[in-house]
Chains A and B, each alone.
Chain A
Amino acid sequence: MAEILVITSGKGGVGKTTTSASIAMGLARAGRKTAVIDFDVGLRNLDLIMGCERRVVYDFVNVVHGEASLKQALIKDKRFDNLHVLAASQTRDKDALTKEGVEKVLKDLAEDGFDFIVCDSPAGIEKGAFLAMYFADRALVVVNPEVSSVRDSDRILGLLQSKTRKAEGGQRVQEHLLLTRYNPERVERGEMLSIADVEEILGLKVIGVIPESPDVLQASNAGNPVILDEQSAAGQAYTDAVARLLGEERPMRFTTAEKKGFFAKIFGN
């Protein structure tokens, strides 16, 4: 049975698309047949992060409106042939998606034997974000250790508990928290909220912590999701998060500051 996983956050710019790309790639690399759908109609970007922007012919809205088949619109990844991308429309607006249309696409993907359907939500709490979360079985809430992101995440957690198909049926979407852009040095200096702070405020344990890393920008530049960069701390942290999503237990890495030398201590770096 296909599991529908929404990647959401409320606030923009926290790393939803980066996370969707890496998580989808990680699930495919772990042998799961995975589709990743960009719900940000009008502001398509997942294709760029996945490195398939020049191969988009038909998009999600075309499929919803019956202008193309799902098969025509799914872009097969060049690195993993069990990974498919469904791009957002760049020309239509967010009203081009309907609940029935989205439900049909998800159902068809499930019937095609996909194990995971990753829904990359747009920012905000409007129609696109609502549709991305509505059918979810699980949700990965991406949060930065920063006041506005934490507050918006709490709002999104509230919506997941009330405005989803599961909630309406008296069930619960399984929620996970992914802390990104984490800087252990700044946390140790008392300048940034810690993992424990965020967990305490939101009442949820993190499933992964992605350290702030220049490798993320480099990965986006190249269209290679950062999870493929095995040298990178951010990439390895995403690999751990995928393993935990699949039920494995792994200790957290990259969450404490590296020991500084004598001079760095004196001058406070």
Chain B
Amino acid sequence: MGLFDFLTGKKPATASLAKERLRIIVAQERSTRGGPDYLPLLRRELLEVIRKYVNVDAEAVKVDLVRDGEHDVLDISVSLPDRTP
């Protein structure tokens, strides 16, 4: 960056932001790759059902297929919101 850019207050460089965003999304996409196609839909429908009873965020439901020896285990975890005092 030149002195002129500095004086005119040009925007900060964005390459590092691009790298960070890519690192996260690529890791997330790799983790779901190769799993059954129904997982995202299952997750969405579970979220809808849970939301009928408890108000949770979109990130609250996690559905993973975990390999355990001979078996595949469907691991579903739901984090409920903090109890308000």
Chain A residues closer than 8 Å to B12, beta-carbon distance? 190
Cα–Cα distance between A189 and B6 once the two chains are bound (Å): 12
Report the count of interface residues on B (CB-CB < 8 A). Answer: 23
Nearest Cβ on chain B to A81's Cβ, whole angstroms: 44
Known: A268-B2, A269-B2. A147 touches B15 (CB 8 A): no
Binds B, one of A40-48, A101-109, A191-199: A191-199
Number of interface residues of A (CB under 8 A): 25
Complex interface residues of chain B between 22 and 42 (CB less than 8 A to chain A): 22-23, 25-26, 29-30, 33-34
- Decide if the interface of chain A is mainly helix, strand, loop or mixed: helix
In the bound complex, residues from chain B placing their C-beta under 8 Å from that of A264 are: 2
Within the complex, which residue of B2, B10, B26, B29 is in contact with A265, where a contact is CB–CB below 8 Å?
Answer: B2
Q: Is the interface of B mostly helix, strand, loop or mixed?
A: helix
Contacts of A162 in B (CB 8 A): 34
Contact present for A266 and B33 (CB under 8 Å): no
B2 touches A267 (CB 8 A): yes
Chain A 132-169 interface 0/1 with B at a Cβ cutoff of 8 Å (1 = within): 00000000000000110011001100100010000000
**Do the beta carbons of A151 and B2 come within 8 Å of each other?**
no
Question: Inside 8 A of A155's CB, which chain B residues have their CB?
Answer: 29
Interface mask (B55-69 → A, CB under 8 Å = 1, otherwise 0):
000000000000000
19 contacts across the A-B interface (CB closer than 8 A): A147-B18, A151-B29, A154-B30, A158-B30, A158-B34, A187-B15, A190-B1, A191-B13, A193-B19, A197-B19, A201-B19, A201-B22, A265-B3, A266-B3, A266-B4, A267-B4, A268-B4, A268-B5, A269-B2
